[in-house]
Structure 1
Amino acid sequence: MKALVLKDYATGILTLETVDIPKIIQGHVLVKIATSGTNPIDYKIRTGQAPYAMPELPAIIGTDMAGTIVAVANDVENFAVGDDVYGLVGGVRGLAGTLAEYVLADVRLIALKPKNLSMREAAAIPLTFLTAWEGLIDRANLKPEHTVLVQGGAGGVGHMAVQIAVAHGAKVVAIASQAKKDIIESYGAAFSDYKTQSIDECVSEFTDGKGFDVIYNTNGGTQLEQVLEATVPYGHIVSSNAFTEINLAPSSLRNVTISGVFVLWPMLENDRRQHHGDILKIATQLAESNQLKPLIDPKEFSIHQVVEAHNYLADGKALGKVVIDITNI
């Protein structure tokens, strides 16, 4: 098969090479990849900025994928040849990635692709949906009566968090730029412009000054600091980007729970992998009931343009997820 191979973190160069198709092993399926979803972690791995996840070189990177099963291990019962599937399956330490024609996927990490979504749309879902779900449902135990604030509500994880919270019946407010107001409101959330409305003003307008029950922070840093006093007492703040030092005193004085989400753990540690597959089954159900729609940047990239796609995403030019076409090699 053809695959993009990374040989040097210092240069970050990807070389298209011919390598062996993976041999089927127990508990796995071989998937012919149609599309590979791109996330910030992909270019961080490629350029040596993610020591906690980087594979030994040479390596095939790429995390998300959608494709069709072409071979099934004899112990696999829930999937068959010809099934269209998607998942967050590789590209990190110990697992070959999705910038290739085929990938050997652990069946615990995949689910059947939503029938009403294209391969391109499906590949945009796994990492971001899993990250959003783990934060809102697994950590914060989201309830229909909750008020939820999502920082970065039109971003990759953010737009998934908004839709999950709306689907659960919560009152949702999403912070974004004015240009993304229509996107936020199309998901059924209230919009807050980060340039013109402070967090205190947001709390006052949307919660009568009481604070949000749950806050999902996607950008970390100062944005995380800004919401430490924005929950109700005993509220919950979730962050998928809590990589900076902050003073937790403001939240501690309110008995606030702060949870971090590290979505790569099941792949890296071979722990709770089936939970990811189960979450993606829910994503499929939500998509097929028209409660989940991935936001995808209209710019298309082929497997020959992966570095360009990474730069496009890293430069903040993308509106929604960036997806790589693997079929035209």
Structure 2
Amino acid sequence: MKAILMTGVGGPEVLRYADVADPEIPSPHHVLVRLHAAGVNPIDTKIRATHSYYPERLPAILGCDGAGVVEAVGSSVTRFRPGDEVYFFNSGLGYEPGAYAQYTVVPEYYCALKPRHLSMQEAAAAPLVLVTAWEALIKRAQLKPQETILVHGGAGGVGHVAVQLAKHLGAFVATTVSSETKAEFVRGLGADHVIRYPEEDFVEAALKWTDGRGVKVVLDTVGGATFCRSFSATRVYGQVVTLLSAACEPSAINTARMRNLTVGYVQVIAPIYLGLHSARLAQTRILEEGARLMEEGRLRVHVGRVLPLAEAAEAHRLIASGGTMGKIVLAIP
């Protein structure tokens, strides 16, 4: 089969289009999936640049998001049969083969039926961003109707799903974007207030929007100074949920303490790396519930760019450069 091999640690040039052996079903509970598309995520570029999870395993096939058709099933599989269209969040850390390939194998527990009306490319774009936004807003922040939330990077992969999910939950949503094109995009997703961060200070804008109180929840998809300054935009007893890690100055930490803020972290690949089966089953349930919302038209995933599998390196360059709205997807021949 054709696959993208990560042949070393470094820049996008370490990704090579190659012929490799088809995978074999490794257990009675695995399914063999003929992939039609794979999602590309920032975590893929970080693994490529550092290979910090499994540095001894090279070459590796990256990609935790995929969509395709079940080709064969293990002897004990009960959830799927050949011909089923599925999407999944699995592997991609460099230990087991990921989704940058024509075929992959996935435990049946971590697959879900593809939303019926979505294309394979749209379905492959969904899993990581859906699970991340869901865990951030529902599990960590426990966002409620009528509460206010500020989503940083609302036109990005996780951000554009979070904006829609927050509206589905009945919240009032503000979001930061870098351009008028992205502003129009997030308004179309339901954002109530758009902050053009190159032109206005997001802390001042959030405080003005909330009559000085600050938002109840901040979802930080940016990290760094944005995470640290978000404490000042959050109301007393509010919550800041971040997807990244950052060291803040003592003054920012003191702001969080004096506001009695709760800070939560979301790293959805942790259950894969740590082998937490129950947590991974919960993520599969998110895929199933998300499929229902997408089929009902309450949630959509925007595919901003589609590239052929052979151009995975270019997809990584585009991720690093920023500016893409929604997700980048690899079409698999």
Asked whether the two chains share a fold, i.e. TM above 0.5, the reply is yes
Three-state SS of the structure 2 residue aligned to 1:213 is strand
2:292 is equivalent to residue 290 of structure 1: no
2:18 counterpart letter in structure 1: L
Q: Which residue of 1 aligns with 2:46?
A: 44
CA separation in 2, counterparts of 1:72 and 1:96? 17
1:212 counterpart letter in structure 2: V
Q: Which residue of 2 aligns with 1:113?
A: 114
Three-state SS of the structure 2 residue aligned to 1:127 is helix
TM-score, structure 2 normalization? 0.92
Q: Which residue of 2 aligns with 1:204?
A: 207
Deviations 1:47-88 (Å, cap 9, x if unpaired)?
A: 32x514667112111221111111122322222221111122
Over 3 Å counting, the alpha-carbon distance change for 1:261 and 1:82 in structure 2 is: same
2:226 is equivalent to residue 220 of structure 1: no
Q: Once structures 1 and 2 are overlaid, which stretch shifts more, 16-25 or 138-147?
A: 16-25
CA separation in 2, counterparts of 1:78 and 1:175? 41
Q: Which residue of 1 aligns with 2:86?
A: 85
Contact 2:204 2:233 in 1 (8 A): no
Aligned residue among 188, 193, 197 for 2:196: 193
Three-state SS of the structure 2 residue aligned to 1:184 is helix
Q: Once structures 1 and 2 are overlaid, which stretch shifts more, 78-87 or 162-171?
A: 78-87
Deviations 1:164-213 (Å, cap 9, x if unpaired)?
A: 11111111111112221111111111212112332333233321111111
Q: Which residue of 2 aligns with 1:323?
A: 329
Q: Kindly report structure 1 stretches of 4+ aligned residues shifted beyond 3 Å.
A: 52-55, 243-247
Q: Once structures 1 and 2 are overlaid, which stretch shifts more, 272-281 or 13-22?
A: 13-22
CA separation in 1, counterparts of 2:139 and 2:301? 21
2:268 is equivalent to residue 263 of structure 1: yes
Any gaps of 5 or more consecutive residues in structure 2? none
Q: Which residue of 2 aligns with 1:61?
A: 62
Q: Once structures 1 and 2 are overlaid, which stretch shifts more, 104-113 or 275-284?
A: 104-113
| 1:110 positional shift | 2.0
CA separation in 2, counterparts of 1:203 and 1:315? 27
Any gaps of 5 or more consecutive residues in structure 1? none
In the alignment of these two chains, the number of paired residues is 325
| 1:46 positional shift | 1.9
| 1:285 positional shift | 1.1
Q: Which residue of 1 aligns with 2:7?
A: 7
Q: Which residue of 1 aligns with 2:313?
A: 307
Q: Which residue of 2 aligns with 1:21?
A: 23
| 1:145 positional shift | 2.5
Q: Which residue of 1 aligns with 2:77?
A: 76
Q: Once the two structures are aligned, what percentage of the paired residues are identical?
A: 37
2:5 counterpart letter in structure 1: V
Structure 1 or 2: more helix by fraction: 2
Over 3 Å counting, the alpha-carbon distance change for 1:52 and 1:228 in structure 2 is: farther
Contact 2:25 2:31 in 1 (8 A): no
